Amino acid sequence: MSLIQREKLNIITLAEVNSTNLYAKANLADIADKTVICADKQTSGRGRFERAWVDLGSGNIFMSLVLKPSEEFKPFYSNLTQYFSVILCEILEEYGLKPQIKWPNDVLVDGKKIAGILSESVMQGHNFKGLVLGAGINLNANPDDLKQITDKEVTALNIEVDKSIDKTIFLDRFLDKFFASYDKFLEKGFVMIENDYIKRACFLGKEISVKGFNNTIFGTAKSINSAGELVLEKDGNEITVTMGDIL
């Protein structure tokens, strides 16, 4: 394990871990606010809705941000994944791509998933201890290895730009941009990124199915409200969806 301290930011690098999110949650009490945990290899990466996140090799990013913004949980902390997805799109645009966001926070290039984000809040009884914002970003994948992911179309930055990507440069750039506006996001919430999020949203106006833990809802994706929730129209009624996965 190595620990680098940048201005107000700690970076812990692990050679191998089961999951950077699990590591962050297990060690949360000893990890300072604004710590980034990166692993070269993840043996049990976890995704949303208890899916697995496949390790595509050490050239890719497996990281978790540990954030302790306040002593109490605030509902808009769940929008941090959307903030993350907007910042990530901005970085991918610097590589000449036109990334899009699939609600709530999947980042796609050409309809194929390039990154996924899993946010977990840590409670001790009723006390909020912090957030773990985990992300897998496909930077350098072998096209043959992508074939093992069969439930969705996926891609990687090296494939999209046809050259290998310097992981350190990418990560530094991402972290600089993420933390440059993070404090402002904590003041303003989703409205700060509303326009930037909506202009990259690839689902609006489409007939979609949204799968939650227990049900699937069909409808037309009408809008994203000021809380970052998805508003569907079905049979003339509006349904606000707070969590789920667009199929």
Give me the residues that bind ligand BTN (CB under 6 A), please. Answer: 19-21, 45-48, 51, 53, 62-64, 106, 116-118, 134-136
CB of 117 to ligand BTN, least distance (A): 6
CB of 228 to ligand BTN, least distance (A): 17
Select 13 or 220, whichever has its Cβ closest to ligand BTN.
13
Tokens at residue 29, please?
Answer: 């009490």
Select 45 or 130, whichever has its Cβ closest to ligand BTN.
45
Tell me which residue has its CB nearest to ligand BTN: 116
Select 10 or 223, whichever has its Cβ closest to ligand BTN.
10
Select 102 or 185, whichever has its Cβ closest to ligand BTN.
102
Select 171 or 188, whichever has its Cβ closest to ligand BTN.
171
CB of 76 to ligand BTN, least distance (A): 20
CB of 115 to ligand BTN, least distance (A): 8
CB of 44 to ligand BTN, least distance (A): 7
